[in-house]
Amino acid sequence: MDPKERLIFALDVERFEEAQRLVLQFKDHVGMFKVGKQLFTHCGPKIVDFIKLKKSKVFLDLKYHDIPNTVSKASIEAAKLGVDLMNVHTMGGFTMMKETRTALQQAVESLRIQRPKIIGVTVLTSMDDAELQRMGINITVKDLTKRLALLAKEAGMDGVVAGGSEIEMIRDLCGTDFII
């Protein structure tokens, strides 16, 4: 694999013009651009269109977390935009992830478009054991990450987002083809 393909550039900027400049500057040096909530909320699908027009890949980082029907439909719309990678919150549950994966697969086959890879966000890196306990979740970040990674794999996710200290554990549990 070309090393640049392993690099995702986070377009964590406020304005479309800033994002355009960064895409033009780095498109030959990175494998993908991440479009998060702030940028997508500011300029909508036109930033995805711009990146795709520059022959670059898009990671739509909106962390979908809702009822299965809503997440499934949002994921289909993301696929229609041509995104290459997208994410959902694993805390949305097995049914949400599984139904999203199934609905997305059916839609891309029907529409004859490429299915984006779907990764599940396990535990936000801003969370620690104390924060989980405050929320009434009485297991460690590591144990919750383990459970959620296995749940994501079972539901058909292509991988997960997790903290750096959990990578080796997830690789051992979920295999080498699972994106981390």
SS3 156: coil
With left for phi above 0 and alpha for psi between -120 and 50, is residue 35 left, alpha or beta? beta
CA-nearest of 98, 93, 60, 89 to 77 is: 60
- Cα separation, 179 vs 130, whole angstroms: 28
Strand order in the sheet with 32-36: 8-10, 32-36, 57-64, 85-89, 117-121, 159-161
- Cα separation, 114 vs 79, whole angstroms: 7
Q: Which residue has the tokens 């535990």?
A: 123
- Cα separation, 92 vs 157, whole angstroms: 13
Single-letter code of the amino acid located at 121: V
Exactly one of 52, 63, 73, 117 is catalytic; name it: 63
Return phi, psi of residue 19, to 5°. -65, -45
Examine the residue annotation and report whether 153 is marked as an active-site residue of this protein.
no
Catalytically annotated residues: 63
